[in-house]
Amino acid sequence: MTAAAQPRVELRDAAKSYGAVRALRDGNLALRPGEVRALMGENGAGKSTLVKVLGGVVRRDAGEMLVDGAPVDLHSPHDARDAGIAVIYQEPTLFPDLSIAENVVMGYHPLGALKRIDRRAMHRRVRELMDRLGVRLDPERPVRGLSIADQQIVEIAKALSFDARVLIMDEPTAALSGPEVERLFTVVRALQEHDAAILFISHRLDEVFTICDTVTVMRDGAVVHDARIADMTPDEMVRRMVGRELSALFPKQDAQVGEPVLRVDGLTREGVFFDIGFEVRAGEIVALAGLVGAGRSEVARAIFGVDRPDAGEVHVLGTRLPAGTPKAAMRAGVAFVPEDRRQQGLVLDLSIARNTALTRLGSLTRLGLIRRSAEHALAREWGERLQLKFHRLEDPVGTLSGGNQQKVVLGKWLATEPRLLIIDEPTRGIDVGTKAEVHRLMSELAGRGVAVLMISSELPEVLGMADRVLVMHEGRLTGELSRAEADEESVVRLATGQIEAAS
């Protein structure tokens, strides 16, 4: 690699806003031929937005994008692909109804006579790709029902299916096992030798130090650092990503730990999670850590009764909850703040007041009609207690910022005076200031004797907030760590299943 080489692709001062939220600013990044660059940052730092700009999924509001030195405007992922840019996205983009082979070559099927699709050639080509990746997946099998790891493999095969000159990988290894990651790295190195430019996003620092030459660090939507990997240490990397002292941000107060509130026994949903058992006591914050796709959210959904488990029991305060009945869970004092705020946590088009009152509708009615005044009183009370920033209570929730939306979700559940709060990714996509408020609130609740089960993919959050950390790997609980035992290394090791092999 020569430093002077013309960048294959370059972003200059790119910016992107979603409504009031500035997801990306000062987006500066250059990818040179033969370079493997890491893109680091916490969740919500703007990495995915930057990737989407490069991939033509969203259009930048400002700044410049250059491919081989020439300014370009990508209007769609198709344009990006024509420019030789392949992207492996974090969220699944597969077609469940179609075969693995079709998923890989979609839009670029090999053609035979009369431009008919040559299915033989298609299957052969995909089988070769799978061999290169060292996995044995039948190309003719439908994608529906594949494990997360296999789906990830298909995503990777899709990006490698054409001669990409720029390969962007947004957490490609999140669900992969050790040997599969090794294989992927071999492929990446081969591409590197063919002068492709590669952007690699991962939360696993060891991978970044293994495979990358250079690193770009993002924080709060902006690129804050650009360096050679050789000049960085893991500590410095984390410091630049977080950019603040951890202790100040996660103020978990000590609380009196009381009786068990939640007891889960042998909870199993076939193909998703197996034999999950643990307890959460009053006043305790227990974190459920693990990689994306480990089955954490699914466990939470089964506890609250959204999904019906195949086996196992859930007890709240000694009473067994009937399976698959969220209403019973609510009556037993369980509150559930889901992962996807916009889809599952809120009704975006309804007003702030309406959303806040949703869990309490029964107690706000007179003669079966909902009293607006009671609704407003409730919403106003919680708005004040949570320091919600809003214009009017009649405004649709969708107009609020992410952090304030999360406060509405919290308010909605706190209004039910829960004994157990299950909160999935409490601060995803929330700005730093509001993050601290949410953490303070969770800590306060624990202090008042509420049992809190928190699912989080942000290690600092897990380490800062939790009294105990439960770690899941591929649908199983692989370990439990006390606050004292838990550190970045021990959690990551359990989450990637490295301990299982040893024991």
Partner 1 sequence: MAAATAPAEGAHARRLTELVFRVRELGIVAALVLLIAVTAILEPRFVETDSLRNLAVNASIFAILTAGQTLVIVTRNVDLSVGSVLGLSAFMAGDLLSSSDALPWPVVAVLGMGLGAACGAFNGALVTFGQVPALVVTLGTLYAFRGLAFLWTDGRQVNAETLPDSFLGVGTNSVAGIPILVIIAVAVVLVVGQWLRDFRAGRELYAIGSNPEGARLAGVRSDRRVFTAFVLAGALAGLGGVLFTARFGTVDATAGTGYELTVIAATVVGGVAIFGGQGSVYGAALGALLLGTITSSLIVLRVEAFWQQAAIGALLLLAIAFDRFVGLRVEAALRRRSARRAA
**What are the residues binding partner 1 (CB under 8 A)?**
55, 57, 76-78, 80-81, 87, 89, 92-99, 102, 106-109, 111, 115-117, 135-138, 140-142, 144-147, 149-150, 158, 270-272, 274, 474-475
Residue 148 vs 388, nearer CB to partner 1: 148
476 has which bridge partners?
A: 473
The single residue listed with the structure tokens 């995909």 is 126
Q: Is 262 helix (H, G, I), strand (E, B) or coil?
A: strand
What is the secondary structure of 398-433 as a DSSP string? GGS-HHHHHHHHHHHHHTT--SEEEEESTTTT--HH
CB of 292 to partner 1, least distance (A): 16
CB of 116 to partner 1, least distance (A): 5
Residue 42 vs 180, nearer CB to partner 1: 180
CB of 191 to partner 1, least distance (A): 19
Nearest residue to 317 via CA among 451, 410, 447: 451
Q: Is 492 helix (H, G, I), strand (E, B) or coil?
A: helix
CB of 125 to partner 1, least distance (A): 15
CB of 212 to partner 1, least distance (A): 24
Residue 32 vs 473, nearer CB to partner 1: 473
Calculate the CA dihedral of residues 54, 55, 61, 66 and round it to 10 degrees: 40
CA torsion sign for 473, 479, 480, 485 is negative
d(CA 178, CA 497): 9
Tokens of residue 296, six digits:
């954490």
CB of 156 to partner 1, least distance (A): 14
Nearest residue to 39 via CA among 133, 234, 129, 171: 171
CB of 138 to partner 1, least distance (A): 3
Residue 279 vs 307, nearer CB to partner 1: 307
Exposure string (b/e) for 128-166, b if CB count within 10 Å is 16 or more? Answer: ebbeebebebebeeebeebebbbbbbbbbbbbbbeebbb
**Strands ordered across the beta sheet of 36-40:** 70-71, 62-67, 9-18, 21-31, 222-228, 214-219, 36-40, 197-201, 166-170, 85-88
Q: How many CA atoms lie within 13 A of 446 on its CB side?
A: 28
CB of 339 to partner 1, least distance (A): 18
Residue 183 vs 493, nearer CB to partner 1: 183
CB of 444 to partner 1, least distance (A): 38
Residue 138 vs 254, nearer CB to partner 1: 138
Residue 56 vs 333, nearer CB to partner 1: 56
Residue 266 vs 271, nearer CB to partner 1: 271
d(CA 307, CA 268): 11
SS (H, E, C) 209-230: HHHCCEEEEEECCEEEEEEEHH
Residue 93 vs 210, nearer CB to partner 1: 93
